Amino acid sequence: MPAPKSERLLNLLIMLLVQRRPIAKDRIRELLYADSRHDAFEKMFERDKEELRSLGVPVEVATIDPLFDDEVGYRIPVDEFALPDVSLTPEEAAVVALASRAWQHATMAQATTDAVRKLTAAGADLDLNALDIAQPTTADEPAFARCWEAVCERTAIEFRYQRPNETDTRLRHVQPWGVVRSAGRWYVVGHDTDRDAERVFRLDRVVGEVALVGEPHAYTVPADTDLRAVIERLAPEPAAPHAVLLARKDTGHTFRRRATSVTPGVEGPDGTHEWDRIDLDRPHRGLVDLVLYHGPDVVLVEPESLRAELVSRLRAVVA
């Protein structure tokens, strides 16, 4: 049975990226499309190749042997695929560092491992350092992988969903537009066909399996759709009118810039007075994530609801 499209694209990306020399089409079929008939392979390979190119991946056609130009192969030049050197301010670097913690999803990591194992077993000459620029993203919710596959395939899904403060689940039918992480949670955004309206669903509230329904490419995503704007509108984070933090001196500048007041020299959790109290009005979305990023240099004091969430996440890490 052919692999799901998302896995197939990732495997093809890895194969073409780690090759030191162009790899022939027959070899690609043998390693990645062995379960497909010849005609099906030709169609799938052409679609997959063009889809990678549409995503900005430079799939290159080159001769396999420089002495003979009648046999061509495919590869991805690492120097063209990698981003150029980027200069960031300390604040921008902090945001990038925070975001980079999400790049370890178990499902995609398994696909990477499988692809490398197949290539190594086949005796391919690999440059595994190239994988540093093609790592996938993380999610612990069981529903993530199937929702991601549905988004890639443009296939409708159905699942049972449990709303807050309700004990019963409801069956939902959705045309997913995208999967987005916001304020520490994963959401699937799309068109609810039962209600004929756009909707947002938290993946940790999906109960049981997510099922693919119907044929691929059965719908299109509305032009200029802003997934994060939809989440902000339909699933706003519970508002906290005020927040209080303690930050060591010369740290927590992200919070200081938005503070309504900063009181220096207050007593901190270590008993010293090397801390500043930072007051924030209407703290922005993602406050807990930012506090966690600052590690032992910033302590969230209020509100209690966000502090409880922070403590719960730290305990989960320790466990």
pLDDT band of residue 53 (cuts 50, 70, 90) is confident
Q: What is the pLDDT of residues 221-247, one digit of tens each?
A: 988 888 888 887 887 665 557 889 999
Task: Note if the pTM is more than 0.85.
Answer: no
pLDDT of residue 251 exceeding 60: yes
What CATH number matches the domain at 143-234, 3.30.70, 2.30.30, 3.40.50, 2.60.40?
2.30.30
Contact 23, 124 (CB under 8 A): yes
Q: In the chain, pLDDT over 70 holds for what percent of residues?
A: 74
The mean pLDDT of 262-283, rounded to a whole number, is 90
Q: Is the pLDDT of residue 199 over 90?
A: yes
Q: Which of 55-64, 141-150, 228-237 has the lowest mean pLDDT?
A: 228-237
Average pLDDT value for residue range 109-132? 51
Predicted local distance difference test score (pLDDT) of residue 293: 79
Nearest 5°: the CA angle 102, 111, 84 is 55
The contacts of residue 86 (CB under 8 Å, 6+ apart) are: none
**Cα separation, 16 vs 75, whole angstroms:** 4
Positions of CATH 2.30.30 in the chain: 143-234
What integer pLDDT is reported at residue 82 of this predicted model?
60
Nearest to 149, CA basis, from 79, 213, 68: 213
